[in-house]
Amino acid sequence: MKTQKSTREEKRKKKARFLISLIIVLLLVCQASANFASIEDVVVIPSQPLDIDVITLDISGSASSGGSHIVSSLFQQEENQLALDLTIDMGINPVISYWSHSEQIGTLVPGTYSTTVRLFFPYAPPGEELQDTYVTEFTVAPEPGTLAIFTLGILTIFHKQRHR
């Protein structure tokens, strides 16, 4: 027959094992989520750019660690394909935080552009560095004054040819 003291000791051991197990599970969950970041939105400013406008990309997102921020960016353009690679540094607090980044890409010739924004976390396990990818398209229109002068020039040429 078990004594009351040994029963209390067994209950105490069970509670201790449960608490240790709970702490281990929480640590694993925090560690697994510590490497998570995402892109939530990419906004083109101005929203309907002209070929004379300086274009800026505003990118925002979230990360599972407090104090997250963008530490570097690399913009590349190949014809109408735009690519922006962002590197994020995540803080150590296991709380969701929000980050944002603005990248001025300059003026572009009229046309439709496909833009790919990629988010990297360099301290992630190998193969998991790429955290998220966001793809969007926008169109750059010709400046109305340039189009008007071009049209006026064409009309003048036709008018001169007609009166010869």
Summarize pLDDT for 14-28 with one digit per residue, the tens. Answer: 887 887 876 766 655
Residues 128 and 85 sit within 8 Å (Cβ to Cβ): no
- CA 95 to CA 23: how far, in whole Å? 17
| DSSP letter (8 states) at residue 156 | H
Question: Could you give phi then psi for residue 116, rounded to 5 degrees?
Answer: -115, 125
94: helix, coil or strand? coil
Query: 157 phi and psi, to 5 degrees?
Result: -60, -45
pLDDT confidence of residue 32: 45
The amino acid at residue 3 is: T
pLDDT of residue 68: 87
- pLDDT of residue 30 exceeding 70, the answer is no
Q: Are strands 81-89 and 111-120 parallel, antiparallel or unpaired?
A: parallel
